[in-house]
Structure formats: C-alpha cells, structure tokens
Amino acid sequence: MNYQIVSRAVVVATGITEDGGREVLGLMVGDSESEAFRKEFLRSLRERGLSGVRLVVTDQHAGLLADAEELCHLGDLPAGGDQIKDTAGGTRADSCGA
C-alpha cells in the first residue's frame, strides 16, 4: 500500500451561547492558510447568519486578524469592551458586529 501525507490547513469557528454553552459554527479544510481561504471561511459564516461577534481569538496569525477586522467592519465601529485577541498576548479593544 502506498500512502501519502499531505499538509492541509484547517480552520474552526466556535461560538459561545448566552448561557455559556459552546457550539462549532463552522469548519473548513483547505490547501493552505491563504487569504482567499480565510476570507472564504469567514464569508461562509456570515452568509449562514453569523453576526454580533464580540471576541476573536487566534494563534497570532496577522492575516486572520486583518481579515476578521475587514469582514466585521471593525474600523467603522467605536472602540468598546469587546476584543480581538491573539493568544500570544496582543489585544485590541474593538467590536465586531457583522
């Protein structure tokens, strides 16, 4: 038997309900973590009704943060108590209402 190991990119969106429960909102597998792949995933979440995002946590992926800011129109909203956060420590206070 011949097997081949292939590197793939996987993104997962998890939501937290008002009562504290967690739900998987979306999962996508792609060839790479390209801008097109990330934006396709974020757009698919919005098209399925995702809105009112108040927290984005990443693994310090600058491209994903930029895409989330762009697709959630963070620059258009006043700074508030909600956050975009990377797990390496940098935090920016912004709201994300799609």
In this predicted structure, what is the pLDDT of residue 25? 92
In this predicted structure, what is the pLDDT of residue 73? 56
Beta strands (DSSP E) in the chain are 9-16, 22-30, 55-58, 83-86, 91-93
Torsion of CA 36, 90, 70, 52, to 10 degrees: 110
In this predicted structure, what is the pLDDT of residue 36? 93
Q: Which of 39, 63, 55 minimizes the C-alpha distance to 91? A: 55
In this predicted structure, what is the pLDDT of residue 98? 36
Task: Evaluate if pTM is beyond 0.85.
Answer: no
Q: What does pLDDT average to in each consecutive run of 10 residues of the chain (98 residues)?
A: 92 88 94 91 89 75 78 51 46 40
DSSP secondary structure code for residue 76 in this structure: G
In this predicted structure, what is the pLDDT of residue 6? 92
